[in-house]
Amino acid sequence: MKQIIDAAELNRLIDRLAADIASRNKKEKNIALVGIKRRGVPLAERLAARLVKKRAGEIPVGAIDITLYRDDLQLVAETPIVRGTEIAFDINGRTILLVDDVIYTGRTTRAALASLLDFGRPKAIRLAVLIDRGRRELPIQPDFTGKTIETRRDDLVDICLEEEDGKDGVFLTLRK
């Protein structure tokens, strides 16, 4: 496992992501962030904290669990662990910024969209990811990306966040 992004660079990526989101949503008054569990949630909270500094008013943050919406549920585990969804605000008519740490095939995002739409009808849904590693299997692209990296299909990209892992960084494991 090789560290490809250290804590300082990870924070700069989040700052740039927040700046891009703020500049492209200047006129949007009714925005909320929803992080995909697990690491999308602390990332959404960090983005919201930075966005509050750039915009007037509070930005609600929710968390969505996609476990039961996965298209590979029967392949992942006999008894899946459901972590629960916490969205304590009305999503109807809001612009929702769906946040995840890494986008790869697009399947996690597809599951998150299906789950989110069970809570109502947002005005729009945008996707923000910290790392885009390409190789989509579904026609899903992020609206906001911290960094794009090239990987092979079998490589692993691990995002570590202080809130979940006790440290910040991005690690790459090359598989043959």
Assigned domain for 163 exists: no
* Per-residue pLDDT, 98: 98
Q: How confident is the model at residue 67 (pLDDT cuts 50, 70, 90)?
A: confident
Q: DSSP letters along the chain, please?
A: -EEEE-HHHHHHHHHHHHHHHHHHTTT--SEEEEEETTTHHHHHHHHHHHHHHHSSS---EEEE--GGG-TTHHHH-SS------B--S--TTPEEEEEEEEESSSHHHHHHHHHHHTT---SEEEEEEEEE----SSS---SEEEEE----TT-EEEEE-HHHHSS-EEEEE---
- Domain containing 56 equals 30-153
Q: What is the CATH number of the domain that holds 43?
A: 3.40.50.2020
* Per-residue pLDDT, 54: 81
* Per-residue pLDDT, 29: 87
Q: Give mean pLDDT, residues 148-155.
A: 93
Assigned domain for 21 exists: no
Per the structure, the count of domains in the chain is: 1
Q: How confident is the model at residue 56 (pLDDT cuts 50, 70, 90)?
A: low
Tens of pLDDT, residue by residue over 91-143, are 999 999 999 999 999 999 999 999 999 999 999 999 999 999 999 999 999 99
